[in-house]
A and B are shown apart, each in its own frame.
Chain A
Amino acid sequence: MASRYDRAITVFSPDGHLFQVEYAQEAVKKGSTAVGIRGTNIVVLGVEKKSVAKLQDERTVRKICALDDHVCMAFAGLTADARVVINRARVECQSHKLTVEDPVTVEYITRFIATLKQKYTQSNGRRPFGISALIVGFDDDGIPRLYQTDPSGTYHAWKANAIGRSAKTVREFLEKNYTEDAIANDNEAIKLAIRALLEVVQSGGKNIELAIIRRNQPLKMFSAKEIEFQVTEIEKEKEEAEKKKTKKNI
């Protein structure tokens, strides 16, 4: 009887569901894929870029945003909702610095975003935010972190995760391929993120956007050229792996 319990956000169904929140999670599943990887000295965020219309200016579409010098996030879901959440998070990062002199920890800002999302699941006349976010960064102690939030307001720490369309496929790929060797150095971590995205992105490198944060360095967005370079390297490696396999069989 979902239809009787899904109109208002503040109403539980008899079997304990908040249907509006679950519908928000469905909206997230329609968004373009985003993947986050936590390396030893680097954190990587990759997103699938939706192809833009001919006359549209590509640069105005940004799915990876810096929240502060040492934290950034990617999202999947409704872009407009994301804009509101990102703005609130940015203000909170500066407000925190103003009040207590120290920059936010990644966990603090994740908790803030999650609390904000939860508030909207318990208020009258509002609907939940239709986004899931992947928040990455380094804390003062130099440890890399990756958190994921969802529309219900829960958050968890992850070693690697994916959200959005085909998130399940990407996550399975990551579960198979996230090993200590895979994140041994920065370049490997970047390649892992791109390989994970290539599983689900149709047309290769030009539909991928990538950003990294290295310890004590600001956010770096990869240019299209750099991504292409990584993609060609990955394809080379794949070919070599294929050759080795065929050699073995012979």
Chain B
Amino acid sequence: MALQDVCKWQAPDTKELSLCLPPAGSWAVPRGCDPQTFLQTQGPSLAHGTTTLAFRFRHGVIAAADTRSSCGNYVACPASLKIIPVHRHLLGTTSGTSADCATWYRVLQRELRLWALREGHLPSVASAAKLLSAMMSRYRGLDLCVATALCGWDRSGPALFYVYSDGTCLQGNIFSVGSGSPYAYGVLDRSYHYDMSIQEAYALACCAVARATHRDAYSGGSVDLFHVRESGWEYVSRSDVCTLYTELQELPEPDQELKAEDQELEAEAEASQTHLEPATPPRAGESGELFLGPREETPEDSRMPAETETP
């Protein structure tokens, strides 16, 4: 491959056998056993417990993930960061084995940096996804587990790719990865449309992850929310799922929201008086209030209520 030759990147040599140690990149299995079937029957159960999602819309790409790292029944870390920045305009959500994800992202960061130095500009998200999937596909069958969504903004606008460690590389508008993904997909498919406003998108992402963590045992903790814009990525918020879920329960049904759209001003006036009801939102974007500590009385659309920290 052209780029791999230029970068002098080499797949490990898996043909050498040593007497006691397993060959590099494989499990120590009894002779004559195929590693994959052995693992499935006898090996440790690597639970890929997580809920991550990403979707692209007019104003960029949203990436959200829970923060629970589980190892079987044990919560190894309740506040881990599952969304890894690659460069200013590219993020990756990670799922699968955390160690594999972390390592491969560092490799991808290095390769993209070298590319940028040689060519004078960063490659497109499609190139980055292709490169990552090509590098990982050399380890196919050796139980690498990296399921990631690359979210970025390049010359073609917002871009989203799903890459799996068997070499799959798919382009799409919505991806959710992990054990909690079925629940997240349910919520996403209902409310997603390309022309959402930014507030609607934030609300949708948090809602989807929160509802998934409610039902999936391996997801929980908090929701990390990132937004990739034309100017680069932004860490929007980290909100605890329990608080989020309670607030979601108190929201009116979406059907009622549609009716309320007709009575905009009256609804806003009412909402400013009742603190518990998070404003029968004339537009779903108002639920951006969920992230605020102290609740503001008269929400204004032009303001961005969510904290925008850029670490």
Chain A residues with CB under 8 Å of chain B are 92, 95-96, 98-102, 105, 108, 140
Contact = CB atoms under 8 A, between A and B. Distances in A.
Interface residues of B, number: 14
- 10 tightest A-B contacts by CB? A100-B127, A95-B2, A101-B126, A99-B3, A101-B130, A99-B1, A96-B2, A101-B127, A99-B2, A102-B127
A95 B134 CA distance: 12
A99 B123 contact: no
A140 B126 CA distance: 15
A108 B119 contact: yes
Contacts of B248: none
B134 A99 contact: yes
Interface string B9-25: 00000000000000000
B107 to A, nearest CB: 15
B119 A100 contact: no
Contacts of B4: 99
Nearest to A95: B2
Contacts of A96: 2-3
A92 B6 CA distance: 12
Contacts of A100: 3, 123, 126-127, 130-131
B190 interface: no
B119 A99 contact: no
B87 to A, nearest CB: 15
Contacts of A140: 155
A95 B123 CA distance: 16
Nearest to B5: A95
B134 A102 contact: no
Interface in B114-159: 119, 123-124, 126-127, 129-131, 134, 155
A121 B2 CA distance: 22
A68 to B, nearest CB: 13
